[in-house]
Amino acid sequence: MKKLLLLLILTLASQTEIIAAPNYTYSTPSTYKFEYEQSQNDSVQEKILFIVDFSNSMNERLGGKTKLSAALSTLKDILQMIPPNTYTGLRVYGHRTGFTPKQSCTASQLISPIQQNNTASIYAKLSSINAVGWTPITYSLKQAAFFDFTDTTTKKRIILISDGGENCDESPCDFVIELMKYRDDIRIDVIALAIGDQDANNQLKCVALVTSGKFYNANTAAELKNSLQDSLNLQKEVQGVIISK
């Protein structure tokens, strides 16, 4: 049923300008609340949160290096191009393992809170993490949406870099569909890093399209860099493969 729903969403996204969330029952832990003050302060700069995959599969090869090495090298290059007054932060997942599925599926951490002049901190934190765990994408998005952004009056953007789909018992697509019923301040750009699984690609594509973000397929380090440059509106060297709403 979920695969049929996801296929319908992606089909509508390619044909229309608006993606309507279907009417269905959604349950969420009591710790997450969807109440939100809708007023926007356009004079405040957009805040950007990087969510980076540190799951074990990031140790697989991409060209002449691992996916993790390619991602870290590219991110460090991009960070140097971001204006210092930009609000940025970093959340990672899969950076630790657990003895139980619950521990592995909550292995997500905001390691550099969102603030200005933050690129040096993000750069340093990226270099001290290993890719060892699972892929709790939905849990990470929940943490970002409800806890990482500490205000309700500015626009926010998540840039998610992942080399696989959710492998915990949740759906990031289902979550953002419900989230968008109550929130209009968050946009999610997704960079799918050499993902060969179509179901995983579809789930991540849904996350981007439902939130009016962009979805990028990056199968090389060069495409990853170009995708990040486009997402951040930085000068691009090569046109990448972009799928947008």
Residue 104 burial by Cβ neighbours in a 10 Å radius (0-12, 13-18, 19+): buried
165 in a structural domain = yes
Q: Which carries the bigger pLDDT value, residue 16 or residue 80? A: 80
Residue 99 has what pLDDT?
A: 75
Q: Among 200, 191, 185, 156, which Cα is nearest to 75's?
A: 191
For 225-240, what is the mean pLDDT?
Answer: 76
Give the CATH number, domain containing residue 106.
Answer: 3.40.50.410
Residue 136: φ, ψ to 5° = -85, 70
In a domain, 63, yes or no: yes
Whether the pLDDT of residue 175 is over 90: the answer is yes
CA–CA dist 228, 241 (Å, integer): 12
For CA atoms 132, 109, 172, 18, the dihedral sign is: negative
pLDDT band per the 50, 70, 90 thresholds, residue 74 = very high
Encoded tokens for 117: 């002049």
Question: Is 127 within a domain?
Answer: yes
- Tell me the mean pLDDT in the region 78-97: 93
Range of the domain at 221: 48-244
The structural domain count of the chain equals: 1
pLDDT score of 209 more than 50: yes
For residues 127 and 95, which has the higher predicted lDDT (pLDDT)?
A: 95
Tokens of 231: 């997402």
Q: Which helix (H) or strand (E) holds 159?
A: strand 156-162
Specify if 39 maps to a domain. no
pLDDT confidence of residue 7:
47
Statement: residue 196 has pLDDT above 90: no
DSSP-derived 3-state class of residue 55:
strand
Please check the confidence at residue 39 and state whether its pLDDT lies above 70.
no
- pLDDT tens profile 115-131: 999 998 998 898 888 99
Residue 102, C-beta contacts closer than 8 angstroms, at least 6 positions apart: none
Beta bridge partners of 223: none
> What pLDDT digit, counting tens, does each position of 42-64 carry?
445 799 999 999 999 999 999 88
Q: Does residue 205 sit within a domain? A: yes
Task: With respect to residue 235, please indicate whether it lies within any of the assigned structural domains.
Answer: yes
Lowest mean pLDDT, pick from 14-18, 132-136, 169-173: 14-18
Residue 180 within any structural domain of the chain: yes
Report pLDDT digits (tens) over 136-173: 999 999 999 999 998 877 899 999 999 999 999 899 99
Amino acid, res. 152: T
The residue type at 88: T
Whose CA is closest to 83, among 43, 48, 112? 48
Mean pLDDT computed over every residue of the chain? 82
Residue 96 has a pLDDT of 87
pLDDT of residue 23: 28
User: What DSSP letter does each residue of 160-222 carry, written as one string?
Assistant: EEESS---SS--HHHHHHHHTTT--SEEEEEEEES---HHHHHHHHHHHHHTT-EEEEE-SHH
Average pLDDT score over residue span 61-78: 91
Q: Report the pLDDT averaged over residues 101-127.
A: 92
Residue 118, domain member (yes or no):
yes
| Reported pTM | 0.80
Q: How far is Cα 239 from Cα 149, in angstroms, rounded to an integer?
A: 31
Pair 88, 128: CB distance under 8 Å:
no
